């Protein structure tokens, strides 16, 4: 039975390839999403560790004013924290939007941002690779990787556009991010600590990082720092601040991941319909074969299992290919996000065991679930059908089915249009719903088109009146039988 299954698979390569392609695409999207979010997550962890690893205590506004911002802190607080016994250095943190214009006057592409250069090396991830740190408002250091991409070096004069306006500055140094050449997925302009707040047009510091003197415990220092802070300002350990940053990163990552996953699930939904269609056609084509198996003594279960085995093999191979394609999808998605300003790291994709298991499980599961109904139908074929030139059982009302398919296609298209164009509609909901409805309709239309299409694919003229799908399928089925039509006595 298994051999017959394998032969059947290799005999129907085109249909198999189309079916498998649907599963491959769906699994690729799901796997790609997980790969991308795992990869990004790892890179973010690395960034957070590099940025906060040397910081012992972080002073920040106690209340968050928006998703990723807290109440700004005044300059005076820097001195207050530095006066606490056991604090060896402090640095105010400030970041802002930036653009860079090269000496020739062209905007340097990249996802640019600007931040303050902390004097104390423990309080910044940046390590000078060339030149010196920026000391005045007219000087900047550049992310070394970004500078290389932009073709800039120490001594170049450039124009930076910050929230405070445009400034002509000199590049005095190039800095790596930790051990990396630059920050992952973004390009950074580093501003002199004393001028940063003015240049960034920031109302205050986002936070103040403190470095403990040698031998001073971070938690003990946090307590001493907390004691001198005004109301509404809190002190947390560096470890706590990193954990918070990771949590925020995970949350924003989950948001991206879930919207990508929605695409993946929609494509699997489509795949399911293609599989249902493909196996329904397969079963219709092989009614005589299934009937023969039954006549020769195969149980309903054996015939059903043969079809399900076929589905299992298709699902396994397609899912494996889908995971491989998922790596490409992850790369493509990260490029897409980068071009829209949401830069993500592109080096060293992370493929975890859970990702592989989830992708395999979803791909195989969807394939099996979609094949179940056709498989059960194959098992119910009467053994007498092997002796008769009977047509495959037809179901439903063809006209009503076509009307429903056209209506669903139109409704889905309308919903997608509404999601894209109309105001006051949740675009994601409309797009998701529209896609689902459209694919239901398209699957129905495909089913109607399958008969004529099959005849075209099998090299026959479609010039004659198109027969209903089941008649075409029967014709295909009889093609595998000898030419003489069986006569009934």
For binding to another protein (CB under 8 A), which residues are involved?
1, 3-4, 7-8, 10-11, 288-289, 292-300, 302, 383-384, 386-387, 480-482, 484, 486-489
The distance of Cα 276 from the centroid of its chain, to the nearest Å, equals 26
- Minimum separation from the CB atom of position 12 to another protein (A): 9
Minimum Å distance from CB 450 to another protein? Answer: 21
Q: Which is nearer to another protein, 254 or 384 (CB)?
A: 384
Cβ contacts of 299-302, under 8 Å, gap ≥ 24: 300/379, 300/380, 301/379, 302/1
Closest CA relative to residue 34, chosen from 285, 331, 199, 257:
257
What is the sign of the dihedral through the CA atoms of 271, 272, 276 and 282?
positive
CB of 284 to another protein, least distance (A): 16
Q: In whole angstroms, how close is the CB of 477 to another protein at the nearest point?
A: 11
Pairing status of strand 139-143 against strand 95-97: unpaired
Most distant CA atoms of the chain, gap in Å? 109
The structure tokens listed for 361 are: 């499980």
Nearer to another protein, 346 or 478 (CB): 478
**Could you tell me which residues are beta bridge partners of residue 87?**
212
List residues bridging with 141 in a β-sheet: 173, 190
Q: Find the shortest distance in angstroms from Cβ 315 to another protein.
A: 21
Q: How far is the CB of 291 from another protein (least distance, A)?
A: 9
3-class state of residue 187 by DSSP: strand
In whole angstroms, how close is the CB of 7 to another protein at the nearest point?
Answer: 4
Instruction: Provide Rg for the chain, Cα atoms.
Output: 32
- C-beta of 136 vs 299, nearer to another protein: 299
DSSP 393-420: PP-S-HHHHHHHHHHHHHHHHHHHHHHH
Nearer to another protein, 10 or 340 (CB): 10
Q: Which is nearer to another protein, 386 or 431 (CB)?
A: 386
**Residue 6 or 220 having the CB closest to another protein:** 6
Residues 204, 197: Cα–Cα separation, whole Å? 7
Q: Nearest to residue 190, comparing CAs of 208, 180, 205, 176?
A: 176
Cβ closer to another protein: 197 or 286?
286
Residue whose C-alpha is closest to residue 477's, from 217, 201, 284: 284
CB of 11 to another protein, least distance (A): 5
DSSP 327-370: HHHHHHHHHHHHHTT-----SS----HHHHHHHHHHHHHHHHHH
Closest to another protein by CB, 177 or 294: 294
Instruction: Tell the smallest beta-carbon distance from residue 2 to another protein (Å).
Output: 9
Q: Which is nearer to another protein, 384 or 422 (CB)?
A: 384
Is residue 165 within 8 A of residue 324, CB to CB? The reply is no
């Amino acid at each position: 039975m298994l051999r017959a299954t394998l032969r059947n698979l290799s005999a129907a390569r085109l249909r198999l390839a189309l079916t498998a392609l649907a599963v491959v695409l769906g699994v690729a999207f799901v796997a790609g999403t997980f790969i991308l979010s795992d990869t990004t997550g790892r890179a973010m962890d690395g960034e957070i560790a590099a940025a906060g690893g040397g910081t012992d205590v972080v002073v920040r506004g106690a209340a968050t004013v928006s998703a990723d911002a807290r109440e700004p802190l005044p300059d005076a607080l820097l001195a207050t924290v530095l006066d606490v016994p056991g604090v060896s250095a402090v640095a105010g943190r400030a970041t802002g939007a930036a653009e860079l214009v090269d000496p020739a006057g062209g905007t340097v592409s990249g996802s640019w941002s600007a931040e303050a250069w902390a004097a104390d090396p423990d309080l910044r991830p940046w390590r000078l690779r060339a030149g010196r740190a920026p000391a005045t408002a007219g000087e900047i250091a550049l992310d070394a990787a970004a500078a290389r991409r932009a073709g800039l070096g120490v001594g170049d004069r450039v124009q930076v556009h910050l929230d405070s306006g445009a400034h002509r500055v000199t590049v005095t140094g190039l800095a790596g991010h930790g051990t990396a050449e630059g920050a992952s997925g973004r390009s950074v302009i580093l501003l002199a600590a004393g001028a940063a707040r003015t240049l960034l047009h920031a109302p205050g510091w986002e936070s103040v990082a403190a470095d403990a003197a040698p031998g001073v415990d971070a938690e003990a220092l946090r307590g001493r720092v907390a004691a001198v802070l005004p109301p509404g300002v809190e002190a947390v350990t560096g470890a706590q601040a990193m954990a918070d940053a990771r949590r925020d990163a995970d949350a924003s990552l989950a948001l991206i991941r879930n919207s990508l996953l929605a695409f993946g699930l929609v494509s699997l939904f489509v795949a399911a319909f293609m599989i249902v269609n493909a196996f329904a056609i397969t079963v219709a084509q092989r009614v005589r074969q299934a009937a023969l198996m039954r006549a020769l003594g195969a149980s309903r279960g054996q015939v059903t299992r043969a079809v399900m085995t076929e589905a299992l093999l298709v699902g396994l191979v397609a899912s494996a290919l889908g995971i491989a394609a998922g790596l490409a999808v992850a790369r493509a998605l990260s490029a897409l996000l980068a071009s829209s300003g949401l830069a993500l790291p592109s080096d060293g994709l992370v493929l975890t065991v859970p990702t592989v298991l989830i992708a395999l499980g979803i791909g195989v599961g969807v394939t099996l679930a979609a094949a179940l109904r056709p498989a059960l139908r194959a098992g119910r074929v009467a053994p007498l059908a092997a002796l008769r030139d009977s047509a495959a059982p037809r179901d439903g009302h063809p006209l009503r089915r076509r009307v429903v398919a056209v209506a669903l296609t139109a409704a889905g298209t309308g919903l997608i249009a509404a999601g894209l164009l109309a105001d006051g509609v949740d675009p994601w909901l409309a797009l998701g719903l529209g896609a689902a409805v459209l694919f239901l309709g398209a699957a129905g239309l495909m089913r109607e088109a399958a008969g004529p299409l099959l005849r075209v694919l099998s090299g026959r003229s479609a010039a004659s009146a198109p027969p209903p799908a089941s008649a075409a399928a029967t014709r295909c089925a009889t093609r595998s039988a000898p030419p003489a039509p069986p006569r009934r006595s």
